[in-house]
Amino acid sequence: MRRVRPFRAALAAAATAAAAVGLALTGTGTAQAATPLPNHVFAPYFEAWTGESPAALAAQSGAKHLTMAFLQTATKGSCTPYWNGDTGMPIAASTFGSDIKTIQANGGDVIPSFGGYTADTTGTEIADSCTDVQQIAAAYEKVITTYDISRLDMDIEVDSLDNTAAIDRRNKAIKLVQDWAAANGRKVEISYTLPTTTHGLGDTGEALLRNAVANGTRVDVVNLMTFDYYDNQPHDMAQDTQTAAQGLHDLLAQLYPGKTSAQLWNMVGVTEMPGVDDFGKAETFTLANARTVYDWAVAKGINTLSFWALQRDNGGCPGGAAADNCSGIAQNTWDFTHVFAPFTGGTSTPSNDFSVALTPASGTVTAGQSATATVKTAVTAGSAQSVKLSVSGAPAGVTASLSPTSVTAGGTSTLTLATTSAAASGTYTVTVTGAGTSGSHSATYALTVTGGTGSQCTAAPWAKDKVYTGGQQVSYKGHTWKAKWWTTGEEPGTTGEWGVWQDLGTC
């Protein structure tokens, strides 16, 4: 992806063991074939540097398949890849192994991705970094056998698209891997994730694919990054996805004249960027865009639907710029995932679902006054359903109420936050949750109180959708709480004495 990633690689690189070379040629990896991916798969990117559990986020979001980003070398010139280029995160069962097994046991899988913006601009994408084709192939095979997966992704952009020698090395190494897989009874797919214009690949992306054809390298999926156009033009992001993919389809028809149109469409993947992309608000991919793209993807029979990234699928920074941990628009957590998830496996349409949003999403009052906001619900899939509304997170001295407390999706309610002089000055997160037959969704309101006489907790307020690690402190309902281990979504005071939150007393 084009976003600049945190580069956590250690300064010292480990030398590649000579024995690794043999793996690419001797077929010493297990001959057991991994389960192939579905013919149509939704696999959003997972930011592997955050310290979060991919299995936990897959379960929470409903995304059964993940594209894991990224694998790169620790320093330029190395032939040994690590997760995020971090020498403390080797290709080993100890790094994400148990998470990946859990995902696979739940009927999903992961697609490890080599490259990404940071690697492609620092010379640490493995084929840019390593000049030995056999060692590059050995690295690919080690990932395949270590995690027992059936697809590798190559995220090639920026400087890596101009490195013709590395492009040739990469395609030659992939061909070695494909020959090894065939000899060992494995199905291994290769996807190339590439930047695009609104009408298809640029010249360097096309040259990369032509080099693959020349090397006899099979490319199973070409995954377009349908965002970050940076062309200073108005954009309908859903329409741009369709025109970009059509341009790719027409190019693939030239490269693979023996394939039918349906087969060519099944080589196409698209990766969106929910909300505001790196260019800015002129390139905003909305939930309405997502539903349009979903219907188009099903109709065309494309292979892969994805977005950057799972950790951005929340409304934690409405009105903001592009960020790695939120979309920049008002939305519920996992809204985009819920639209795209039914794509996996074929042609199903989304079941009934809804969204909850607050307008405005923040307000400031003097203690003793009230603030109001409109709770807006909408049908995001299927038919309207009854939604029961509740509110939580109001601090001492603040009374929260909803009128009405139940609506049909598409309807509205009014949130009233009445404060007293005893409310403590500060900013608080109040959460409105809507519960229906399809599940629940939440939206948050940032209430700032001034001129209050109450005491103020110094720790940041607990947030339902935030990830906490051991030792972090939050304030909630007039108490300070300390997390004993990794947690998200567990309300302080509800997990009992032996739960994740330790009560440090009133504040």
Radius of gyration of the chain (CA): 24
DSSP code at position 36: P
pLDDT greater than 50 at residue 345: yes
Q: Dump pLDDT digits (tens) for 72-128.
A: 999 999 999 999 999 999 999 999 999 999 999 999 999 999 999 999 999 999 999
The predicted-structure confidence for 238-254, as pLDDT tens digits, reads as follows: 999 999 999 999 999 99
Pair 426, 448: CB distance under 8 Å: yes
Give the max Cα distance, the chain. Answer: 77
Q: Are strands 398-403 and 412-419 parallel, antiparallel or unpaired?
A: antiparallel
Q: Say what the pLDDT of residue 351 is.
A: 63
Q: What's the token pair of residue 237? A: 């992001």
Over the stretch 43-66, which tens digit does the pLDDT of each residue have?
999 999 999 999 999 999 999 999
429 alpha-carbon distance from chain centroid: 25
Alpha carbon of residue 146 to chain centroid = 23
Neighbours of 293 (CB within 10 A): 26
Domain ranges of the chain: 19-25+40-350, 352-456, 457-507
**Strands 268-272 and 221-225, sheet pairing:** parallel
SS3 501: strand
Return the CATH fold of 457-507. Answer: Seminal Fluid Protein  PDC-109 (Domain B) (2.10.10)
Helix (H) or strand (E) holding 122: helix 117-122
Q: Average pLDDT of 493-497?
A: 77
Question: What pLDDT sits at residue 288?
Answer: 93
Q: Which CATH superfamily is domain 19-25+40-350 in?
A: Glycosidases (3.20.20.80)
Mean pLDDT over residues 285-314, rounded? 96
**What tokens appear for 488 in the block?**
């998200």
The string of pLDDT tens digits covering residues 457-472 is 778 888 888 888 888 9
- As a whole number, mean pLDDT of residues 197-213 equals 97
For residue 86, what are its two tokens?
């971090």
Tokens of 484: 């004993």
Is 352-456 a CATH 3.40.50.2000 domain? Answer: no
Question: How sure is the predictor about 478, in pLDDT bands with cuts at 50, 70 and 90?
Answer: confident
Provide the CB-side half-sphere exposure for 42 (13 A, CA). Answer: 27
- Read off the tokens for 402: 């909803």
Q: Which residues have a Cβ under 8 Å from the Cβ of 397 and sit 6 or more positions away?
A: 367, 419, 420, 421, 422, 423, 424, 449, 452, 454
